[in-house]
Chain A
Amino acid sequence: MTSPARQSLWQIFAVPLLLALLSIAGLASALFGDDLWDAVSWLTLGALLLVAGYFAFRRSRRMG
């Protein structure tokens, strides 16, 4: 989707920043604990893959 307005750096990096924080939490979690902490790793890092898959495979709609 093309958004007509020019985005600020904040707007551009808001989602990537959130994803990076999720990644760091996921990478660290299994290192600092077992069981539940392992599961936190699977879920956070798995969610990232789902985000990538969702946007890569969704039908693109033409805007404007």
Chain B
Amino acid sequence: MQANQVHRLRVWSVVHKWTSLIATLFLLMLCITGLPLVFDDEISDWLNPTVIAEVPAGTPAPTLDAIVATALAKHPGDVMTSLGFVKDRPAVVTHSAATPRAPLSQSHRGSYDLRTGKPTDLQAQRRGPVMTFIRELHTDMFLGLAGALFLGAMALMLIVAIVSGIVIYAPFMHRLAFGTVRKYRSARTTWLDLHNLLGIVTVAWLLAVSITGAINTLHDPVADAVRADIFRMGKAYGGSAPKQLTSVDAALATAKNALPDGKLVSFFFPGAGFSTPHHYAIFARGNQPITSQLFYAALVDAETGELTRTYEMPWYAKALLLSQPLHFGDYGGLPLKIVWALFDLVTIVVLGSGLYLWIAKWRRARKSRIAIDAVQAA
């Protein structure tokens, strides 16, 4: 090997050591909290089972206009801000507030059964306090955007650690067949071989999860950008507030006709959330495996009920939405979640063995230093 090649490998090795060391504690936290989060739906359903009560056949389903009227009657002076259609449950969550731009913390929330129009707790507290705690720790360590971006930086560290790890894999393996684990040598050698084996086998998965994890930390800024984009676009169609509001059900039917045939997600009232000052904004998912991960929007004139236009997410929002399943592993049924959890466990072993190898090396170096000092002192 040439001298400059040796030097280059040294540099990569130092890069691998330091990027790993800086990020390891946080990555261990992310792996440990990530493990239950893979099964978030299953655990939440198990901890807070919700029984969907049967409704007698022939019960007339209420209109959304009626549900909106009920919700507003409870909070006189409020305007409606949004309707959220609950995933896999016949329920709608309503939000109203004194002004359309009031923050979520100052708005009034209700949930109604779509089959009866009665208040329901079908949506209440689906994710309990424990899972909420774990999720927040994993997403931003309770520090909001700053915490999320910090964890994003740790994900970038991991990406550099992975790339440098691939580079320095080669010199270790020059005289070893793939998968060699030398168990007859020292513990350090065995763990080095295991670190290399498990690291290289899971490398593509870990790269995918760390890149998508880094992208996911941009969720809030991306949501803000989309909100601003829709708002700006709406102004081109006249930004005045509607004099009176047209029927919610009619607007929804118009939007459904214009959107791909997927699940309805939400309905924003003029000036609130992701709408424009003049429009209802209706969001739905697509109906194909890939488009079901994305959102499509329709803007309906809230005064006339006419479709103004449909809206496709900008590329950066699509990138974020497609990063979510690739990070959570929730896009291929329970078996894929189990696979995800096992990869997560293997990653913990890779992180742990890496840390062990660094400590063992450091101790050995210190011991030999002490020995040299002792010899010199004698």
Contact = CB atoms under 8 A, between A and B. Distances in A.
Interface residues of B, number: 40
B332 A32 contact: no
A58 to B, nearest CB: 8
B289 interface: yes
Consensus secondary structure, chain B interface:
helix
Contacts of B184: 60, 62
B143 interface: no
A1 B175 contact: no
Interface string A1-13: 1111111010011
B343 interface: yes
Contacts of A20: 203-204
A60 B183 CA distance: 6
Interface residues of A, number: 41
B336 A9 contact: no
A37 to B, nearest CB: 7
Contacts of A41: 332, 336, 339
B175 A7 contact: yes
B8 to A, nearest CB: 14
B201 A51 contact: yes
A23 B208 CA distance: 10
Contacts of A54: 179
A61 B201 CA distance: 21
Contact of B289 (A5, A27, A31): A31
Contacts of B177: 1-3
Given A3-B176, A30-B331, A30-B332, A60 B181 contact: yes
B333 interface: yes
A1 B180 contact: yes
Interface in B163-182: 166, 169-170, 173-182
A56 B198 CA distance: 8
Given A38-B336, A42-B335, A52-B198, A15 B178 contact: yes
A56 B169 CA distance: 17
Contacts of B335: 38, 42, 46
A60 B182 contact: yes
Given A9-B170, A42-B332, A45-B339, A55 B197 contact: yes
Contact of B180 (A24, A29, A60): A60
B342 interface: yes
B53 interface: no
B346 interface: yes
B201 A48 contact: yes
Nearest to B332: A30
A42 B339 CA distance: 7
Nearest to B173: A12
A24 to B, nearest CB: 6
Interface in B92-117: none
A55 B331 CA distance: 29
A9 to B, nearest CB: 6
A4 B203 CA distance: 27
A18 B309 CA distance: 46
Interface in B31-66: none
A16 B200 CA distance: 6
Given A3-B177, A23-B204, 14 more contacts: A2-B182, A13-B170, A15-B179, A16-B169, A23-B208, A24-B204, A30-B331, A31-B289, A38-B335, A46-B339, A48-B205, A52-B198, A55-B197, A60-B180
Interface of A: 1-7, 9, 12-16, 19-20, 23-24, 27, 29-34, 37-38, 41-42, 45-46, 48-49, 51-52, 54-56, 58-60, 62
28 contacts: A1-B180, A2-B175, A3-B175, A3-B176, A12-B173, A12-B178, A14-B178, A19-B200, A19-B201, A23-B204, A23-B208, A30-B331, A30-B336, A31-B322, A31-B326, A32-B289, A32-B290, A38-B333, A38-B335, A41-B332, A46-B335, A51-B179, A52-B202, A54-B179, A56-B194, A56-B197, A58-B181, A60-B182
